[in-house]
Amino acid sequence: DAGITQSPRHKVTETGTPVTLRCHQTENHRYMYWYRQDPGHGLRLIHYSYGVKDTDKGEVSDGYSVSRSKTEDFLLTLESATSSQTSVYFCAISESIPGTDTQYFGPGTRLTVL
Amino acid sequence: GENVEQHPSTLSVQEGDSAVIKCTYSDSASNYFPWYKQELGKGPQLIIDIRSNVGEKKDQRIAVTLNKTAKHFSLHITETQPEDSAVYFCAALGGLRAGGGADGLTFGKGTHLIIQP
């Protein structure tokens, strides 16, 4: 998985609790992304980062926030988890501008919100 | 924003036959079209990609074709093998944003390819 780790790999939590997912890369790639994968929807972009402290919203950003204080770490936070955020979350990285370089995906985090 | 449609959602072929998966996109500014293979319990892995200045690209048993005028692209797998069974996703990338950032990929909903022995 191209030097990408995600933690935790599985998590069960209750509605209303905060949750933080971590993506860690050892490739020193500039771009990092968070996607969610749901049956019937494929993968949808939540947020992405194009450098330390530089982030932007994706297609389904409501209810999520991100932070990137170091090149290697990109955190996804659900401030108050809801059942609709039950999903599999994938982190991805790319060395340069998307389209000029490949996006590599991590192994995923399965989140269940009860 | 970009919208990507992928068909079929499920495709079953006999081992050794060919498989074709088709995608259409909506944004004429999109210029990069990757295909990903996802095996159960794993993240998607890039198998082939094509840029808008190329009409066709091959890599052994896999090929991708792009028709910019019609805004569609297809994945072709020949001589299918049991290990080709997986979910395949097409994706499209739009242009850069005015502020210098760039969008992530917009994915199709996936095709579950089943290779029958």
> Is pLDDT of A61 > 80?
yes
The predicted structure's pLDDT at residue A98: 64
More confident residue, B97 or B66: B66
The predicted structure's pLDDT at residue B99: 39
The predicted structure's pLDDT at residue B23: 98
Q: What percent of chain B has pLDDT over 70?
A: 91
Average confidence (pLDDT) over A74-86: 97
CB-CB under 8 Å, B102 with A50: yes
Q: Could you tell me if A21 and B72 are in contact, meaning their C-beta atoms sit under 8 angstroms apart?
A: no
Residues in chain A within 8 Å Cβ distance of B46: 102-104
Residue-wise pLDDT tens digits, B26-42: 988 888 899 999 999 89
CB-CB under 8 Å, B104 with A48: yes
Residue in A40, A90, A102 nearest the CB of B43: A90
The predicted structure's pLDDT at residue B52: 84
The predicted structure's pLDDT at residue A42: 86
Phi, psi of B33 (to 5 degrees): -135, 95
Interstrand relation of A109-113 and A10-13 (parallel, antiparallel or unpaired): parallel
More confident residue, A1 or A20: A20
Tokens, residue A59:
């297609």
Residue in B43, B96, B99 nearest the CB of A105: B43
User: Which residue from B minimizes the CA distance to A39?
Assistant: B109
CB-CB under 8 Å, A50 with B100: yes
Which of A12-26, A29-43, B3-17, B88-102 comes out lowest in average pLDDT?
B88-102
CA distance B7 to B90: 10
CB-CB under 8 Å, B51 with A99: yes
Edge-first strand order for the sheet with B19-25 is B4-7, B19-25, B72-77, B62-67, B56-59
The predicted structure's pLDDT at residue B36: 96
Residue in B42, B51, B96 nearest the CB of A97: B96
